[in-house]
């Protein structure tokens, strides 16, 4: 995985997985796999699935890069503590899964919680060779 700064302000983690490096053949299979990881986690809870591709393509002025074949976000939360009101600004979490012709791109916004980051990194990396 690589960490980078997207749009000069958002710290993200991202991994590109070649289709030859995984047994998953589409976004839905990867989302189902990630949901199983969330369901197995002692703290994380599943919230929703957002079909970003369907949403954007339904908009009259929606624009999708031609190399993007599908794009969905799985939304979940690690919220084990509520120490102050502002913590809700950085919750819940989501992992985006994009399909392109040769690979899948998984990405997420870096969380302030190291345990959450570690889990999301592990889950994303485990898509390769799965």
Instruction: Collapse the DSSP code of 17 into the 3-class scheme (helix H, G, I; strand E, B; otherwise coil) and give the result.
Output: strand
- Domain locations in the chain as residue ranges: 2-125
Average pLDDT taken over every residue of the chain = 96
Task: Please determine, for residue 130, whether its predicted confidence score (pLDDT) is greater than 80.
Answer: no
Which residue, 109, 38, 115, is CA-closest to 77? 38
Model pLDDT, residue 79: 84
CATH topology of domain 2-125: TATA-Binding Protein (3.30.310)
pLDDT at position 106, please? 99
3-state secondary structure of 116: helix
**pLDDT tens string 90-113:** 899 999 999 999 999 999 999 988
Q: Are 22 and 127 in contact (CB under 8 A)?
A: yes
Per-residue model confidence as pLDDT tens digits over 10-53: 999 999 999 999 999 999 999 999 999 999 999 999 999 999 99
Tell me, what's the pLDDT at 5?
A: 95
- The reported pLDDT for the residue numbered 55 is 99
pLDDT at 129: 83
């Amino acid at each position: 995985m690589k960490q980078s700064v997207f749009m000069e302000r958002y710290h993200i983690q991202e991994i590109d997985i070649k289709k030859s490096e995984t047994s998953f053949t589409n976004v839905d299979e990867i989302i189902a796999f990630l949901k199983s990881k969330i369901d197995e986690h002692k703290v994380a809870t599943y919230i929703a699935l957002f079909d970003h591709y369907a949403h954007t393509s339904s908009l009259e002025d929606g624009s999708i890069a031609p190399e993007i074949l599908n794009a969905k976000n799985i939304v979940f939360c690690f919220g084990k503590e509520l120490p102050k009101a502002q913590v809700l600004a950085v919750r819940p979490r989501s992992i985006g899964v994009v399909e392109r012709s040769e690979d899948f791109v998984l990405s997420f916004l870096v969380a302030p919680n190291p345990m959450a980051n570690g889990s999301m990194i592990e889950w994303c990396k485990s898509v390769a060779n799965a």
